[in-house]
Amino acid sequence: MKTLTKKMIFKTGLISVFFLFAFSGLQAQSDSPQLNDAEIASVAVTANQIDVDYAALAKKKSNNKDVIRFAQTMQDDHNSVIKMATDLARKLGVTPQDNDVTQSLLSQSRTQTDLLNSKSGKDFDKTYIDNEVAYHEAVINSVETVLIPQSENQELKDLLTRIMPTLKSHLEHAKKLQRELK
């Protein structure tokens, strides 16, 4: 049992490092030229879309009703955030601008999707939920420490601030499922 727990902590740690690496472009840029608002909008929309895509995969592959229900919530909530972000960008006349961070996120998500596709049954559920815990931890950290401080437009800053409670509740929900799937 102890070995299992250690294995799980190790795996979760690996996934956390994986996503922190994906967001490392953000961290590195905090001391140098900042991300502009158009790039921040692109990162925000992409990060949400990636979780919507993971959720769609989970709904297709999982047989666990709690996991499926969680995935449905992720799909609905992150789609709401994407709509708010794109509506705001349209209102401000800003076109989300592709950048290295967006590309890094997409590249990492392709690797993670391949991993999820290779799993089935309880292994899939555990991998999906471990990933959700790590992904939300990394996103929360990046939104709090990089995206909000670097946003110049007050409405964009307010939107990013407003989504924080939602992200934190997703993390709590994912951690609860992670404990139950042990």
Partner 1 sequence: MKIISGINSGLVLWLLLISCNAAPGPETVTVTIDQMKYSPQTVTVHKGDTILFVNEDIVAHDVTEANGAWASPRLENGDSWKYVAEADEDYYCSIHLVMKGKIKVE
- CA 148 to CA 142: how far, in whole Å? 9
- CA 32 to CA 160: how far, in whole Å? 21
Q: Please list, residue by residue across 145-157, b when 16 or more beta carbons sit within 10 angstroms of its beta carbon and e when fewer do.
A: ebbbebbebeebb
Instruction: Provide, for the chain, the percentages of residues in helix, strand and coil under a 3-state DSSP scheme, each rounded to the nearest 5.
Output: 85, 0, 15
The one-letter amino acid code at 10 reads F
35/74 with CB nearer partner 1: 74
- CA 22 to CA 74: how far, in whole Å? 20
Q: How many residues bind partner 1 (CB under 8 A)?
A: 15
55/101 with CB nearer partner 1: 55
Kindly state the tokens that stand for 26: 């953000």
Sequence-separated (6 or more) residues with CB below 8 Å from residue 11? 130
Residues present in the chain in total: 182
- Letters for 36-75 (x = contact with partner 1 by CB under 8 A, - = none) are -------------------------------------x--
Please report how close the Cβ of residue 166 comes to partner 1 at its closest, in angstroms.
Answer: 6
Please report how close the Cβ of residue 66 comes to partner 1 at its closest, in angstroms.
Answer: 9
- Letters for 74-93 (x = contact with partner 1 by CB under 8 A, - = none) are --xx--xx--x---------
Please report how close the Cβ of residue 26 comes to partner 1 at its closest, in angstroms.
Answer: 23
Site for partner 1 in 147-176 (CB under 8 A): 162-163, 165-166, 168-169, 172-173, 176
- Residue 33 found at the interface with partner 1 (CB under 8 A): no
Binding residues (CB under 8 A) for partner 1: these are: 73, 76-77, 80-81, 84, 162-163, 165-166, 168-169, 172-173, 176
